[in-house]
Structure 1
Amino acid sequence: MTPRDASDDASDTPDETPDASRWSDLDRPPLNATALRRALLREGELWTSLDVVPATGSTNTDLAARADELPEGAVLVAEEQSSGRGRLDRRWTAPARSGLFFSVLLKPGADVPVERWGWLPLLTGVAVATGLSRAAGVDTALKWPNDLLVTVGGEERKAGGILAERAGTAGAGVVVGVGINVTLRADELPVPGAGSLALAGAATTDRDPLLRAVLRSLDRWYTDWRDAQGDPAASGLQETYAAGCATLGRKVRAELPGDRSITGEAVAVDGDGRLVLATGDGVQEPVGAGDIVHVRGV
């Protein structure tokens, strides 16, 4: 792991009161914005700017508001979010500096047909899982479409989530938000099914190298996908997502809009990123939106 840069000084973070000192929780030091920029902002690569703020409502909301003025590759990181959102407008909250909460601005433009942009949250899931597995030494899996799972005490737990939203004039960009529980302790879990990298036995919980690993992984996957004109097969994305998807091969219940539900075995992720369910009557039905509940292993 790359050590924290010792050249960081107090000028990288706003002044705080003694009761809210940057070292008030020694297990949760602040991110080093200077070192992150030096490591990630390089000419010819995806990331063009990186800002770390002590707190905000939602990094997705903040970045989306500036989507027209910012170039592709802008990254906004918050040490704490008060109004973080997941899919279906679910709230995402966690103690300050206990995780990685960030959003990135992507503009596939004419390189990728708009109908393939729906792969971006799945692509981000693959990139995050790959980066964390390498940097933290934790086996991670993906629950369709965009939950990150780790194993805690022999049980699958949700340790992260991804939310992609169109942004900018005429929806010319996509803001992808990522939330990952890093040092969340058992008594801090918001729900019984939640987890964190620390609870899963991560080799490191230093957020600086973890964030660098995730963003570098996202750069590689996004660049390959864009170079392939968003083709999930040609870029290797579809195969890799399926290999790391804990939903496939299981009996699941898809809770769909309009109070409708389907139960069946998840057998594939199709070329449009939809989850294909084989129902009891022999029909294969693709699901493009909805909440997926893992019923049992198959």
Structure 2
Amino acid sequence: MTPPDASDAHDNRWSDLDRPPLNGAALRRALVRAGGLWTELEVAQRTGSTNTDLAARVAKGEAGEGAVLVAEEQNAGRGRLDRRWTAPARSGLFFSVALRPTGVPVERWGWLPLLTGVAVATALARTAGVDTALKWPNDLLVTVDGEERKAGGILAERAGPDAVVVGIGVNVSLRAEELPVPGAGSLALAGAATTDRATVLRAVLRSLEDWYGRWRDASGDPAASGLQEAYAAGCATLGRAVRAELPGGRSIVGEAVAVDGHGRIVIATRDGVQEPVGAGDVVHLRTV
């Protein structure tokens, strides 16, 4: 048998035995079932962005609610504010899901990224044994060597008048020398009990199905579904001194005191004003 050429190592699905490929057929057997949320699941070897790809399919009518697209490698993944999200092949989970929250008022759809954060954090705690905190509105934080690090993120985008595509990225087995920035982390670096991506993916999708079902059954009411309470309990931003960078160049400094019924972070300033922030970049400040 002729050995593979070294130049093909990057494309070889088994080039890193610590990072085995996902088995799409096995995942479909575990997750796609009659009456369940997940209706189809595809594993792509490489793509630019699962959100972009899945949103295009939804817009063309080629994918409906419950479609899941997973990529072994993304080279143009995006976070909020169009920040790039890249990582070595099979070092993390990079996937998007299509949702059509019929029966939920559009003004409550802003809870979807927060709902996804709760679902992911719940799954990671149960499956990998990693305590995952939520940085408003969509970052997943883990503790590495006593320091708070970002190990994942969530991006929700409209895909037509009645659909939303939610993208999720989680660094699973990323090693210290592979971190894209000093403030990044991974489940492995946080001491995860498992870095088996299939196990983690199944747990995340089942948790997301559960929370989405509760929220939709409550017509998107964050209090009645238990979502608002769960998010507040896991939110690392609450009780912290923060700076919110707002659209237009304005910023607010104060203490994050609540998440209101619209999913906005409420910041109490030194002037005694409580200002809700629905869009912007929030920075956790170190207290002196």
User: How far did 1:32 drift?
Assistant: 1.1
Alignment-mate amino acid for residue 30 of structure 1: P
Q: What corresponds to 2:75 in structure 1?
A: 82
Alignment-mate amino acid for residue 112 of structure 1: V
Q: Which runs of 5+ in 1 are unaligned?
A: 1-15
Q: What corresponds to 1:266 in structure 2?
A: 256
How many residues are matched?
A: 280
**Percent identity of paired positions between Structure 1 and Structure 2:** 80
Equivalent-residue separation in structure 2 for 1:166 and 1:31 (angstroms)? 28
TM-score of the two chains, using structure 2 as the length reference? 0.95
Q: Is the 8 A contact 1:133 1:140 kept in 2?
A: yes
Q: Secondary structure at the match of 1:148?
A: strand
Equivalent-residue separation in structure 2 for 1:44 and 1:183 (angstroms)? 33
Q: What corresponds to 2:3 in structure 1?
A: none
Q: What corresponds to 1:210 in structure 2?
A: 200
Equivalent-residue separation in structure 2 for 1:20 and 1:134 (angstroms)? 33
Q: What corresponds to 1:3 in structure 2?
A: none
Question: What CA RMSD, in Å, does the superposition of the two structures yield over aligned residues?
Answer: 1.2
Q: Is the 8 A contact 1:123 1:237 kept in 2?
A: yes
Equivalent-residue separation in structure 1 for 2:115 and 2:10 (angstroms)? 40
Which of 170, 175, 181 is matched with 1:185 structurally? 175
Matched, 1:145 2:137: yes
Q: Which runs of 5+ in 2 are unaligned?
A: 1-6
User: How far did 1:297 drift?
Assistant: 5.1
Matched, 1:92 2:85: yes
TM-score of the two chains, using structure 1 as the length reference? 0.92
Which of 118, 124, 149 is matched with 2:116 structurally? 124
Q: Secondary structure at the match of 2:285?
A: strand
- Residue pairs, 1:127-276, within 5 angstroms: 127-168=119-160, 171-276=161-266
Cα distance change on mapping 1:204 and 1:247 into 2, 3 Å:
same
Alignment-mate amino acid for residue 48 of structure 1: T
Cα distance change on mapping 1:261 and 1:39 into 2, 3 Å:
same
Q: Secondary structure at the match of 2:27?
A: helix
Equivalent-residue separation in structure 2 for 1:292 and 1:28 (angstroms)? 33
Greater mean deviation of Cα atoms: 68-77 or 84-93: 68-77
Q: Secondary structure at the match of 1:208?
A: helix
Equivalent-residue separation in structure 1 for 2:41 and 2:8 (angstroms)? 25
Alignment-mate amino acid for residue 215 of structure 1: L
Equivalent-residue separation in structure 2 for 1:218 and 1:228 (angstroms)? 15
Q: Is the 8 A contact 1:130 1:217 kept in 2?
A: yes
User: How far did 1:279 drift?
Assistant: 0.3
User: How far did 1:19 drift?
Assistant: 5.9
Q: What corresponds to 1:45 in structure 2?
A: 36
- Residue pairs, 1:9-48, within 5 angstroms: 17=8, 20-48=11-39
User: How far did 1:21 drift?
Assistant: 2.2
Q: Secondary structure at the match of 2:38?
A: coil
Equivalent-residue separation in structure 2 for 1:193 and 1:291 (angstroms)? 16
User: How far did 1:254 drift?
Assistant: 0.3
User: C-alpha deviations, 1:145-197, integer Å up to 9, x for none?
Assistant: 000000000000000000000003xx210000000000001011111100000
User: How far did 1:17 drift?
Assistant: 4.8
Q: Secondary structure at the match of 1:95?
A: coil
Q: Secondary structure at the match of 2:286?
A: strand
Alignment-mate amino acid for residue 114 of structure 1: V
Equivalent-residue separation in structure 2 for 1:248 and 1:57 (angstroms)? 34
Q: Is the 8 A contact 1:249 1:297 kept in 2?
A: no
Equivalent-residue separation in structure 2 for 1:102 and 1:24 (angstroms)? 22
User: How far did 1:69 drift?
Assistant: 2.8
User: C-alpha deviations, 1:196-254, integer Å up to 9, x for none?
Assistant: 00000000000000000000000000000000000000000000000000000000000
